[in-house]
Amino acid sequence: MTECIHTLLSAWGAPTADERASATDASIGPDFCYSDPRTPAPITDRDDYINYIKMFAEMAPGAEAKVVNISERDGSARATVEFGMPNMPAQRGQYFIDIKDGKIARIVGYAGMGEPS
């Protein structure tokens, strides 16, 4: 069930537009929705999502997003992701993901690990 998560997040570090598009197409369903702290509104269009992750690749060449842990239950998953940037300490965040028919339907990201304030 979680292969689609690894595939989608691998697109963040893909060096070419074709590789980002291919990984995205292999992982998202027809009613895909993405949001994180940097999106002004949820992204529901495939091309808008690909353009969003393109900005990551352009702003941090050589960076990658790597899934380091996944918990899953009843068609949903929580993924801990490490964003590795060249010459910078890695940052971690979490995504909560709904999966339908082996594809990501909804993915919501949060910065950090939810540390108590």
Domain boundaries, the chain: 3-111
The model's confidence at residue 93, banded by pLDDT at 50, 70 and 90, is very high
- Tell me the whole-structure pTM to 2 decimals: 0.91
What confidence score (pLDDT) does residue 103 get? 97
How much is the mean pLDDT over the chain? 93
Residue 86 has pLDDT above 80, yes or no: no
Q: Give me the CATH code for the 3-111 domain, please.
A: 3.10.450.50
**What does the pLDDT look like over 3-36, one tens digit per residue?**
999 999 999 989 899 999 999 999 999 999 999 9
Rounded Cα distance, 50 and 44, in Å: 11
